[in-house]
Amino acid sequence: MEPHGPRESPGGPWEGSSLPGAWPSSALGQAFSQILHQFAGQESRRGKARNAALEDLAALLEAKECDRLFEGSDASLRGMPEMLGQVVKALGKYAAPAEEPEGRGDRHSEVAEKAAAVALLFLKLLRKVEAAKNSLVCPAWKTSLRPLAGPIYVFAVTHSLEQPWTSQRSQEVAGQVLALLLQVTDCGSVAGFLHGENEDEKGRFSAIMGLLKPELNKDSWKNNPATKYVFSWTLQKVTRPWLSQHLERILPPSLLISDDYQTENKILGVHCLHHIVLNVPAADLLQYNRAQVVYHALFNHLYTREHHLVQAVLLCLLDLFPVLEKALHWKGDGARPTTHCDEVLQLILTHMEPEHRLLLRRTYARNLAAFVKRLGILTVRHLKRLERVITGYLEVYDGPEEEARLKILETLKLLLQYTWPRVSCRLVVLLKALLKLICDVARDSSLTPECVKSALLEEATDCLILLDHCSSGRVKGLLAKIAHSCEDSQVGSCIRRVQQLSEGAPCDAT
């Protein structure tokens, strides 16, 4: 079947090719080179020329001559896989979303239409590979697939995820392309496709990172808005023990994305860094001071007021601390050195005291217990500021779910367990704060659900019991004076529970 006539330009169909050597000399090779030139040349920007090129390619893939594409035995077809790889890259670039000024999404529908048309062509091409794979006379199909798999994967991920430039149709067809690619390559999952299905098989992660590398430097990574998502999504699929060998490729782009001025990109970059921290051995992260670089990049984000970003950063830091502390050595002949966890907790407490934004207060309170648990007895270094934060947060109503106050009570319980020898001198302050909370909750007539009120009263009562243990029963003695005069049944119930459970308990709360 003959495609449309060639659309020559003065430079000829081979001008601008980056391939070494000569193109295939067959008529089939010349037809593909003409199509490649149409997408690479200036005329591809015109709608008619673009549509004609797609029609030419579709007709060419349906021709009987294309059944020999992956045979590998015909000398006239040498270099055809490389040429097809260039055609696939050109098609992916043609359907890629372009960066637009904020507030303009009028070209997104056009990108989705292009992607759907290109996906159908990729399905035809992959079916040719599958036919060659199932044929005993085509042993070279695997070698021929190598230059195609990476670009097709990048295209499929770009358009199968829900993004502004995708439509339901483009996502569906791109998903079919990815599924067929996995089927043709005998991979049961995307992870297997990337790192290899077994130890002897080399995965395609390096090749895909090589394709993305030119678009992941500081000057070009925003030219294609899909690149960061393809990188992040692909990175998340590769875990231990395969990820560490690619550290030099994946760490710089992750730091670059996290260092952007847009909060969305910062969060995406932090998620990439968190995945690296979780899946790369500590020894590799400590080498060349990489862990310190990641730490300082994350620490700088703690000055932001965006609660989603703060949440992502704190979770990443909590997993990074064990790595950083492997480099610290305490000889036991002096005070333990302050750690990165101390530094972060100090900054968090500084931000927590004056913070009035509810979402940020909840974020800080949600993660505070993990820091106390991480430091253990060393939390005594921050006890004075923790006392102020805890009593201050217990006073403020936090909405129907009361997330902040519940998390602060959880933190207080841990604090009493770890630092009990230093608690008795703070007995009066903590006792007043807990009793005030119990009275406020008991009198609360707002929309707070009863289950939340019950949880608050139970947690506060547990804190009173621990406080009594830490103070050698002094709480029980102070509460005895008000137990009989208390008119509120809920408050009285809490006090009686403290008196009953404190009897006979040891003063060592640990």
Whether residue 89 is contained in a domain is answered as yes
Q: Look at residue 56 and tell me if it is in a domain.
A: yes
SS3 of residue 59 by DSSP: helix
Nearest residue to 453 via CA among 493, 489, 490: 490
DSSP state string for 275-293: HHHHHS-HHHHHGGGHHHH
User: CA-to-CA distance for 298 and 277, rounded, in angstroms?
Assistant: 12
368 exposed, middle or buried (CB, 10 Å; 0-12, 13-18, 19+)?
buried
- Indicate whether 64 pLDDT > 70: no
Report how far residue 30's alpha carbon sits from residue 12's, in angstroms, rounded to the nearest whole number: 11
What's the confidence (pLDDT) of residue 361? 96
pLDDT at res. 331: 56
Environment class of 262 (CB within 10 Å of its CB; exposed 0-12, middle 13-18, buried 19+):
exposed
Q: 45 lies in a domain? A: yes
Q: 228-232, 410-414, 438-442, 460-464: which range is least confident on average?
A: 438-442
- The domain in which residue 81 lies consists of 1-99+106-186
Q: What is the CA radius of gyration of the chain?
A: 32
Convert the pLDDT of each residue in 304-355 to its tens digit.
Answer: 999 999 999 999 999 999 999 887 766 556 667 889 999 999 999 999 999 9
**392 assigned to some structural domain:** no
Q: Is the dihedral of CA 149, 223, 313, 320 positive or negative?
A: positive
Per-residue pLDDT, 132: 79
Whether 279 is in a domain gets the answer no
Residue with tokens 């704060």: 433
341 inside domain: no
Give yes or no for a contact between 320 and 295, defined as CB atoms under 8 angstroms apart.
Answer: yes
pLDDT at 369: 97
Per the model's pLDDT, the better-predicted residue between 505 and 234 turns out to be: 234
Tell me the per-residue pLDDT of 243-299, one tens digit each, with 9 for 90 and over.
999 999 999 999 999 999 999 999 999 999 999 999 999 999 999 999 999 999 999
pLDDT band at 6 (very low <50, low <70, confident <90, very high): very low
Look at the chain and report how many structural domains it folds into: 1
- Is residue 424 pLDDT above 50, yes or no? yes
Q: Is residue 390 part of a domain?
A: no
pTM over 0.85: yes
Look at residue 506 in the predicted model and tell me its pLDDT. Answer: 44
What pLDDT does residue 140 have? 65
Q: Rounded to whole angstroms, what are the CA distances from 254 to 249, 416, 502? A: 9, 39, 52
Looking at residue 41, its pLDDT comes to 59
State pLDDT tens for residues 138-168: 566 677 788 899 999 999 999 999 999 999 9
Residue labelled with tokens 């949440």: 311
Tens-digit pLDDT profile for residues 99-126? 754 444 556 788 999 899 999 999 999 9
**Is 157 inside any structural domain?**
yes
Pick 352 or 53 by higher pLDDT.
352
CB burial of residue 456 (10 Å; 0-12, 13-18, 19+):
buried
Look over the chain and give the mean of its residue pLDDT values, rounded to a whole number.
84
The answer to whether the peptide bond before residue 139 is cis (omega within 30 degrees of 0) is no
Task: Measure the CA–CA gap between 307 and 362, rounded to whole angstroms.
Answer: 9
